[in-house]
Structure 1
């Protein structure tokens, strides 16, 4: 009871602080509504400096939050894309901020049309626990580039990373420019109700609906980066060694706790046994042991661990074949929170593992007879955040592209579309809405203001009343046809 009261008091204090910061950022934006290009670049350079200076501390904090998180994975999937994103933005920001000229119809000449890219104001970012650094820094880069003030709500499930990120941001930026908010779920819920000028949320579809509902009360535009069940489609003729190696990498990275991880595999029925063997072999090459192997990441907490074990228990009870890939045959059930890559064969639609986004190292394999049957299987379900196709024939690659829809797609690879600086990242339907990364991130956090300008000569007077003149008839004849 005492702990609950203390938590409520702390949450109330954090909520009050959040509101105070929001008001200060609004005021600061009104005082400087269009930061110069030089200011924006300097802010990005300062962000880069503080990340590089603290990268070892950040790696250690993330490792502590997961109890075991591969530091190399954190370098590859968190630090590297953060730094590369800053570098790419610095290289291209000069061209992005320039007003773009647009066509003017002869009907309105002489005049000019331009689109000006102006900051929106105060941007809110809600960060999930699975990539707590990159999914905070990525939106911050785009928001800074567009000239906004930014408030970032970190996940309560990564307390060490959240606290450290707050510390290093406060050491480099004034609170009215960038502020990091910590706290429990009630603080996050209140955060989503603030009247931001834009709100970006990364997380589950169920929570995304609540965030969108809260934002709607303020008509706050939202970017929702959600998830879903991203399929990996193995063609009838692709070398299974190639497909298995890349799928295993994408599924084992961060122990499958990745929104774009391959959620399940669609494999030709006669190739399933061979595919399963290739998966076992490739996983063993990458992770010859698991228990004391720092390369293999643990599940973030007991709640997520129990959820994943529940999926396996449910599938087993409903007749699935469970293949645990544990190369060294180690005991992992005594508190390590490590789950081996686990194949689930002979699935049925009523299994939870085939209904929910897995978000862990469990890989169902669904058999198909004809490629178009697999495509139909994908299309019968909500649009996934990512789709992965494995096959080297160009005509079939194009067929899969045109016959399916997803937030993004890789051909003969997984995850790597997220790391492309010049590709937009985002979902569609239940997997999200809106895009960011690169130029699309700059555009998402910019108000694209249309400006029509004319000077002394007024061509518009030819359509002024009184109507029915020869000039009117000529204009109608020329332009309504």
Structure 2
């Protein structure tokens, strides 16, 4: 398969560079297949100054890629979360690397057994456009903690950020340790065909299928972070003003261009108008103006803008009620921004009901009972995140036991992604595998089971030719 990629794209300098780096990293890993804790810590220690010394350049690059990305959103979601993850990994690294003692059974006695975590080799990371620094560096540092070499393919939609990260990674790490690759879709396709020892992809479900298909040709294990339609269920008695305020953190950040942003609201049918009013007030309070407001992040490009506008047109044509929140009555024509918009009376044949929204549009669905809300969620593909608002613990337990999702927040949105000690990953249509926390270290490691036998060889007593004593031994001690 690699030979096919070389032949198909032999005239592409970026693909030729990518193949060369891959070969260099594979050779370097063979020379050093198990870096020590001190070596790994030294590599991780380079990341913080790299980010801090370039924080203004990172803010500027992402702002240019989006035409407007709120600077504080970049600092919080790209830099703070990444640095917190780095601090956590450095603190836990030696514990993760320590072999784990396990128990032997009767057939293996006398002997001892344990598990060691061995680096995989060269890890590929395919990065989406919505959080290009965080979603490149967090898996990168986790893979480095596990002792691997890393290649990163940045999204063509954030070319300014991709070029900057390629530059600062190149200044921080040798090419045989970490390298960044940029380029268009053909480069991404070739990247996914490389025989990595593990491939992590973050992006859409549709593209994830192509990536998995390419990786399968090399039997490359994959971790897929795919998003999906994350539901937000408001309990019957939860204060609506508080719900709107807490949902705003997850939906307004990056103008909803977040894989775990609430996609649709399941609201008690007798409180729908209460939610519409509370959400409108919350958005107006956060963004009294939008078009020229630097705090209001734009849609990343025209393609995504047209996709979102198409959802609204399709929903209107099929009978949905569209509630646009535009406090200053601004004209958005010619702008890359879209106002926060609620869509009610949605039917399953509408495009907005089928696709992940990934923008400042939000569906509101009424429900009669909590069982109805659970059924609505379970009838659809399993989401990356689920949010439930209720102070009643019995109801919370019911949600946890009767729904499946990659992760859950109770009485909040998206905060679980920033908790470094728990895994982050999807299920079904929202992905497979996980990283963050100890699960991330395990994802990028080979969990190797080892058994060591002592000088006494007890198995000699169960070697052929078998006899009546052997039968008695098995019946008395092993088949009881």
Normalised to the residue count of structure 2, the TM-score between the two structures is 0.97
* In 2, Cα distance between equivalents of 1:303 and 1:471: 73
Distance 1:327 1:10 in 2: 54
Aligned to 2:407: 408
Structure 2 match to 1:298: 298
Taking the aligned partners of 1:116 and 1:46, their CA distance within structure 2 comes to 26
Q: Distance in 1 between matches of 2:11 and 2:40?
A: 33
Shift of 1:104: 1.2
Separation in 1, partners of 2:136, 2:71: 18
Alpha-carbon distance, 1:471 to partner: 4.0
Shift >2 Å, 4+ stretches: 8-11
Q: In structure 1, what is the equivalent of residue 435 of structure 2?
A: 436
8 Å CA contact 2:10–2:16 kept in 1: the answer is no
Asked whether the equivalents of residues 390 and 413 of structure 1 are also in contact (C-alpha less than 8 Å), the reply is: yes
Match of 1:263 in 2: 263
Corresponding position of 1:4: none
* 3-state SS of paired residue (1:60): helix
* Contact kept? 2:9, 2:15, Cα under 8 Å: no
| Shift, 1:475, TM fit | 3.0
Give distance in 1, aligned partners of 2:163 and 2:213: 28
Report the alpha carbon displacement of residue 9 of structure 1 after superposing the two structures with TM.
8.6
User: Cα deviations across residues 354-399 of structure 1 (Å, max 9, x unaligned)?
Assistant: 1110000000101111111110000000100000001110000000
The alpha-carbon deviation at position 241 of structure 1 amounts to 0.7
The alpha carbon displacement at 1:472 in A equals 4.3
1:477 deviates by 2.1
Q: CA deviation at 1:331?
A: 1.2
TM-score normalized by structure 1? 0.97
Determine if contact 1:462/1:472 at 8 Å carries over to the other structure.
no
The reply to whether residue 160 of structure 1 matches residue 160 of structure 2 is yes
Structure 1 residue 424 displacement after superposition: 0.1
CA deviation after TM superposition for structure 1 residue 255, in Å: 0.6
1:241-280 correspondence to structure 2 within 5 Å: 241-280=241-280
Q: What SS does structure 1 have at the residue aligned with 2:435?
A: coil
Structure 1 residue 10: Cα displacement: 10
The aligned residue for residue 4 of structure 2 is none
User: Deviations along 1:30-77, whole A, 9 cap, x unmatched?
Assistant: 000001110100100001211111111111100110000011001111
- CA–CA separation in structure 2 for the residues paired with 1:463 and 1:11: 63
Unmatched segments (≥5 aa) in structure 1: 1-7
Instruction: For residue 138 of structure 1, give the secondary structure of its aligned residue in structure 2.
Output: helix
Matched, 1:218 2:210: no
Provide Cα deviations, 1:99-143, integer angstroms capped at 9, x if missing partner. Answer: 001111233222111000010000000000000000000110110
2:167 is the alignment partner of 1:185: no
Could you say if the C-alpha distance between residues 116 and 9 of structure 1 is closer, same or farther in structure 2, counting changes exceeding 3 Å?
closer
Distance (Å, rounded) in 1 between the aligned partners of 2:214 and 2:475: 48
3-state SS of the aligned residue for 1:375? helix
Q: CA deviation at 1:11?
A: 7.0
Shift of 1:248: 2.1
Aligned-partner SS, 1:263 = strand
Shift of 1:249: 2.3
The residue aligned with 1:340 is 339
CA distance in 2, matches of 1:118, 1:214: 25
Q: Tell me which residue corresponds to 1:99.
A: 99
CA distance in 2, matches of 1:9, 1:478: 63
Quick one: structure 1 residues 195 and 9, their matched pair in 2 at CA, closer, same or farther if it must change by over 3 Å? closer
- Cα contact 1:11–1:183 (8 A) shared by 2: no
5 Å-filtered alignment, 1:64-83, equals 64-83=64-83
Query: Partner of 1:328 in structure 2?
Result: 328
How many residue pairs get matched?
A: 473
Corresponding residue number in structure 2 for 1:149 = 149
Q: SS at 2:16's partner residue?
A: helix
For 1:173 and 1:11, locate their aligned partners in 2 and report how far apart those are by CA, in whole Å: 27
Counterpart position of 1:125: 125
Query: Shift of the alpha carbon at 1:83?
Result: 0.5
Stretches of structure 2 lacking an aligned partner (at least 5 in a row): 1-7
Alpha-carbon contact 1:463-1:472 (below 8 Å) kept: no
Partner secondary structure for residue 46 of structure 2: helix
2: CA distance, partners of 1:123 / 1:141: 11
> C-alpha distance in 2, partners of 1:78/1:419?
11
CA deviations 1:411-438 (Å, max 9, x no partner) are 0000011000001000000100000012
Q: Residue 219 of structure 2: SS of its match in structure 1?
A: coil
Q: Deviations over 1:422-457 (max 9, x none)?
A: 010000001000000121111100000000011211
Distance 1:466 1:218 in 2: 44
In structure 2, C-alpha distance between the alignment counterparts of 1:470 and 1:316, rounded to whole Å: 81
RMSD: 1.2
CA distance in 1, matches of 2:63, 2:307: 21
Q: Distance in 2 between matches of 1:391 and 1:352?
A: 30
Rounded to whole Å, the distance in 2 between the matches of 1:270 and 1:40 is: 56
CA distance in 2, matches of 1:47, 1:102: 35
